Homo-oligomer: A and B are copies of this chain.
Amino acid sequence: ELGSVQTPTPVAPAPNHLHAQTTSLESAESSAGLTLLERLEDICIDQGLSGLAGRLDDMVGFVAMDLAAFEAEFAQLPRRPQRVGRAATHLLDVGGKRLRPLCLALASRVGSGFDQHVLDLAVAVELVHSATLLHDDVVDYADHRRGKPTARSVYGNAASIFAGDWLLIEALRRVRRAGHPQLLGGLLDIIEEMIFAESLQLENRGRLSMNRETYFKVAEGKTASVFRWALEAGGVAGGLATAETKALAEFGQQLGITFQAVDDLLDLTGDPDTTGKDLFTDLREGKMTLPLIFALERETEARAIVSAVLDIPEHEPVPKDLARQVIDLLRRTDAVADTLKLARRHSQRAIEALNSVPDGAARRALATVAEAIVDRDL
């Protein structure tokens, strides 16, 4: 059944259906999730993956509905006039890819479907993600995120710290409200894992000798863990059996690693206008991303090039010549190709994990997300 529909028929929703749904929503922010889907679809079409595009189109009906419900709920989060409230709102209003809530909603649809509890869990996972961004931006002295000034640069570090605390509390409150006590316990464990992964990353900042093992510990702890929880939460709320929920969690774990590897690539080869993030941001913060680790493993000259970038004072641009050296290094050591290959391998593992869950439109949609995420450019 996979990859069946190639051309839209009058009965099947036309591609424009997407846009129609978007404009019918009240808030401009509401389009964030659909934009991701649209972009995924564009990527599929660009690459001649019309089967994939067909499937995306196929799934768009209920996904659009779920994401619209998510955006409506998210827009209703309490707006508080204090500086801390404004710092939180500032980040939330910038929008985001909504990838974690999207996956959570899809996981619930593998089971009994989307309801108020799932909505609470979807909002919670996006809030946890947002809370970590608010704290990370303070830790990283980040000035821009998603193409806008960071909350900390507008409202100060203190407000950004407290705003992160607040969103975390709001997230936990919603998970509590959604019932399923094991999900609350699981989320507390996941947040602890994230904190220690951030710590490990912090300790290895600027260490050119950081190895793959440490890299995967960080990526699993800070990125994959949240995807794992999101998929598990969707499965549990959808009433799936334990084995099926575990399979979904494994999908989330593998998707998270895929996501992180592609994120690493975008830091070095992405288009800042699309990603909303300056090129080499991670690198200049001393974060040893996967392509860099590959390059450093493979060529002794790499150390000098990477060190030169790290030595550039904070607010000065990277000289064009040096930027070109980095790109050349990554290409000739196959660091880009191999990072992409690794991402694709984990994406395949994610899709394989789905073999243990009931087939249907939701499962196919998850598989599509896992495939398309490799080629994303934002």
Contact = CB atoms under 8 A, between A and B. Distances in A.
Contacts of A85: 196, 199
Contact of A165 (B82, B185, B191): B191
A26 interface: no
A293 interface: no
Contact of A82 (B84, B159, B172, B203): B203
Contacts of A207: none
A324 to B, nearest CB: 32
Contacts of A181: 176
Given A172-B188, A188-B169, A188-B176, A196 B161 contact: no
Given A169-B191, A172-B172, A138 B157 contact: yes
Given A165-B135, A168-B165, A83 B188 contact: no
Contacts of A192: 166, 169-170
Most chain B CB within a 10 A radius of its CB, from A82, A169, A195:
A195
Nearest to A140: B158
A169 B195 contact: yes
Nearest to A190: B169
Interface residues of A, dominant DSSP: helix
State how many copies of this chain the complex holds: 2
Contact of A84 (B168, B176, B198): B198
Contacts of A195: 84, 162, 165-166, 169
Interface residues of A, number: 34
B161 A188 contact: no
Nearest to A202: B158
A196 B158 CA distance: 12
Most chain B CB within a 10 A radius of its CB, from A83, A162, A176:
A162
A139 interface: yes
A3 to B, nearest CB: 43
A176 B185 CA distance: 8
A202 B162 CA distance: 11
Contacts of A191: 165, 169
A202 B157 CA distance: 11
A195 B173 CA distance: 15
Contacts of A83: 199, 202-203
A80 interface: yes
A92 to B, nearest CB: 16
B185 A161 contact: no
Closest 3 CB pairs of A and B: A84-B199, A139-B158, A82-B199
Given A135-B162, A157-B157, A169-B192, 16 more contacts: A82-B196, A82-B199, A82-B203, A83-B199, A84-B199, A135-B161, A138-B161, A139-B161, A159-B199, A165-B165, A165-B168, A165-B191, A165-B195, A166-B195, A169-B191, A169-B195
